[in-house]
Amino acid sequence: MLIVMKFGGTSVGSPERIAEAARLAVASAAQGHQVVVVTSAMSGVTNALIDAAQSASKGQWTAAVSQQLLERHRAAAETLIGTDPVRKTATLDILGRRLDRFEKLCYGLSMVHELTPRLLDAISGTGEMLAAPLVAAAIQAQGRGSQAVDATEVIVTTDQFGGAEPLMDDTARKCAAVLQPMLAAGEIPVVTGFIGATADGVLTTLGRGGSDYSAAILGAALDADEVWIWTDVDGVMTANPSEVAGARTLPEISYSEASELAYYGAKVLHYKTILPAFRKRIPVRILNSFNPAHPGTRVTVEGHPSASGVKAVTSIRGVSLIAISGTGMQGIPGIVAKAFDVVAQQQANVLMISQASSENNICFVISSSEAGRVLKALRSALEVELLRGNIEEIAEQPVAVVAAIGDRMRGTPGIAATVFGALGTAGINVVAISQGSSERNISLVVDAQDASRAVRALHDAFQLDRQA
């Protein structure tokens, strides 16, 4: 079997964790499988790189960040490589060169004061490029051949910096040329997650949390038999376990459930991960590198239907509700079209839309980081309507989207009643509602500060802490 296994930031967060990740990869190889490893940056590193880039763009750059990163990775290399002087020198040399590049980029940035998405990708992708040589060294130290591979050599993407999309045919060709020979030689390639490169070789990133997506892209490109996502919890759970104490592992979910869950805020999977796997019907497993004996979650075509219909409750934080309202909006054609034109021009991603049937109000949810920009553009584009009083207000409110998700919600009556009953009992005000036509989820907007209580109320109402 060919398995692509991805290790997240906490799973490679220390020399001990890297050694354990290597052990898991080597154990699968020892069972006769071909293994491709995809690694994230060590935990916290991507955030540190982005912070450094932002500071540098404001003229505040000190080499201290790069020193700290070098220290952390160097210490890990020392622990993992042990006594082999050649290997140690080679690894330290790579780390030094990569941090040197990072330093130069930040230094340049502190001169020009302009952080473009392209430059941010070049900087934020450094973390994976520091981690991969360490993971490869750890695998070698455990007696298996291994090479670190920059995904810039194997994943070809569009030039949408900060959220690039793979070009699958080119990617498949490169994977065949670069990775297949390593696999054929019995080696374990360790590919950097999160990054790729355009056809011209310019580094891109796939978006925050994108190493899961990298694993699925490589899985599809290599026609892998399975994609394993090693993380720090026992698989995909009925809710975020750090928010809901009674959250339980879902042993099996369908591709559509996984994709819906990820889209609606379950951080355990990047929301784009499922598509490449689904297209090739490659089973995906989500496993706990801190508890590898646990079977985790399996993502398959069928999923595992559960009795109540709702399998999990998720939430999206850091979002804002933009509401355009006014009694004079009724019957004025084109306001909705104009509003969404503006949103599209601002390249803001709309997570949810709802319009009251009275036409007095349309509202939609976007990321709070985009809200200021969108609000300003809306007020300018709808200036005339505001002046005439057709629109009374364009307002922003910090909110959270809470979603109840499950394939079997379709055709199960009474789910909406349970949702609203539970929130009513908890005294939580629902600001807006939307039910996808797929009927795989009901999502509602609540005030940001009610989000945790809303998630817990729904988890309780559907008794998700009990075995299905």
**Contact positions vs ligand ASP (CB under 6 A):** 8-9, 40-41, 46, 127, 193-194, 208-211
- Do the Cβ atoms of 170 and 176 come closer than 8 Å? no
Strand partners, 237: 249
- What is the DSSP secondary-structure string of 244-264? -TT--B-SEEEHHHHHHHHHT
CB 114 → Mg ion: shortest distance, Å? Answer: 29
At 303, which amino acid appears?
Answer: G
Among 3, 4, 8, 215, binds ligand ADP (CB under 6 A): 8
Strand partners, 157: 166
Among 127, 196, 209, 326, binds ligand ADP (CB under 6 A): 209
CB 5 → ligand ADP: shortest distance, Å? Answer: 12
Task: State the residue for tokens 């600001």.
Answer: 431
Q: Which residue is nearest to ligand ASP (CB)?
A: 211
266 binding ligand ADP? (CB under 6 A): yes
CB 210 → ligand ADP: shortest distance, Å? Answer: 10
CB 343 → ligand ASP: shortest distance, Å? Answer: 25
- Do the Cβ atoms of 273 and 262 come closer than 8 Å? yes
Helix (H, G, I), strand (E, B) or coil at 382: coil
- Select from Mg ion, ligand ASP, ligand ADP, none the partner in contact with residue 10, using the beta carbon and a kind-dependent cut-off of 5 to 8 Å: ligand ADP
Q: Rounded CA gap, 76 and 297, in Å?
A: 30
309 binding Mg ion? (CB under 5 A): no
- Select from ligand ADP, ligand ASP, Mg ion, none the partner in contact with residue 233, using the beta carbon and a kind-dependent cut-off of 5 to 8 Å: ligand ADP
CB 190 → Mg ion: shortest distance, Å? Answer: 17
CB 297 → ligand ADP: shortest distance, Å? Answer: 8
Q: Rounded CA gap, 338 and 377, in Å?
A: 11
Query: For 106-126, b where at least 16 C-beta lie within 10 A, e where not — what string?
Result: beebbeeeebeeebbbbbbbb
Q: Rounded CA gap, 131 and 95, in Å?
A: 9
- Select from Mg ion, ligand ADP, ligand ASP, none the partner in contact with residue 342, using the beta carbon and a kind-dependent cut-off of 5 to 8 Å: none
Contact pattern from residue 405 through residue 444 relative to ligand ADP, giving x for each residue in contact according to CB under 6 A and a dash for the rest: ----------------------------------------
Nearest to 118 by CA among 229, 197, 17: 197
Among 2, 135, 182, 236, binds ligand ADP (CB under 6 A): 236
CB 231 → Mg ion: shortest distance, Å? Answer: 7
Which residues have CB under 8 Å from 33's CB, separation 6+? 1, 2, 3
Joined tokens for residue 266? 């379950």
CA angle centred on 332, ends 329 and 333, rounded to 5°: 130
Counting residues that bind ligand ADP (by CB under 6 A) gives 19
CB 212 → ligand ASP: shortest distance, Å? Answer: 6
CB 219 → ligand ADP: shortest distance, Å? Answer: 16
* C-alpha to C-alpha distances, 174 to 154, 161, 181, nearest whole angstrom: 5, 21, 11
Q: Which is nearer to ligand ADP, 382 or 455 (CB)?
A: 455
237 binding ligand ADP? (CB under 6 A): yes
Q: Rounded CA gap, 148 and 179, in Å?
A: 11
Among 209, 219, 235, 296, binds Mg ion (CB under 5 A): 209
Among 242, 357, 437, 467, binds ligand ADP (CB under 6 A): 242
233 binding ligand ADP? (CB under 6 A): yes
CB 369 → ligand ASP: shortest distance, Å? Answer: 15
Which residues have CB under 8 Å from 42's CB, separation 6+? 9, 12, 13, 14, 72, 73, 76, 127, 130, 131
Q: Rounded CA gap, 390 and 387, in Å?
A: 8
Q: Which is nearer to ligand ASP, 209 or 296 (CB)?
A: 209
- Select from ligand ASP, ligand ADP, Mg ion, none the partner in contact with residue 232, using the beta carbon and a kind-dependent cut-off of 5 to 8 Å: ligand ADP
**Terminal Cα-to-Cα distance of the chain (whole angstroms):** 31
CB 265 → ligand ADP: shortest distance, Å? Answer: 7
Joined tokens for residue 158? 């569009």
* C-alpha to C-alpha distances, 209 to 150, 212, 321, 440, nearest whole angstrom: 17, 7, 24, 24
Among 2, 4, 5, 11, binds ligand ADP (CB under 6 A): 11
- Select from ligand ADP, ligand ASP, Mg ion, none the partner in contact with residue 237, using the beta carbon and a kind-dependent cut-off of 5 to 8 Å: ligand ADP
- Within 300-319, the residues that bind ligand ADP by CB under 6 A are 312
**DSSP code at position 225:** S
- Select from ligand ASP, Mg ion, ligand ADP, none the partner in contact with residue 126, using the beta carbon and a kind-dependent cut-off of 5 to 8 Å: none
Q: Which is nearer to ligand ASP, 210 or 303 (CB)?
A: 210
Q: Which is nearer to ligand ASP, 149 or 445 (CB)?
A: 149
CA gyration radius for the chain? Answer: 24
- Do the Cβ atoms of 229 and 216 come closer than 8 Å? no
Query: What is the contact surface with ligand ADP in residues (CB under 6 A)?
Result: 8-11, 40, 209, 231-233, 236-237, 239-242, 266-268, 312
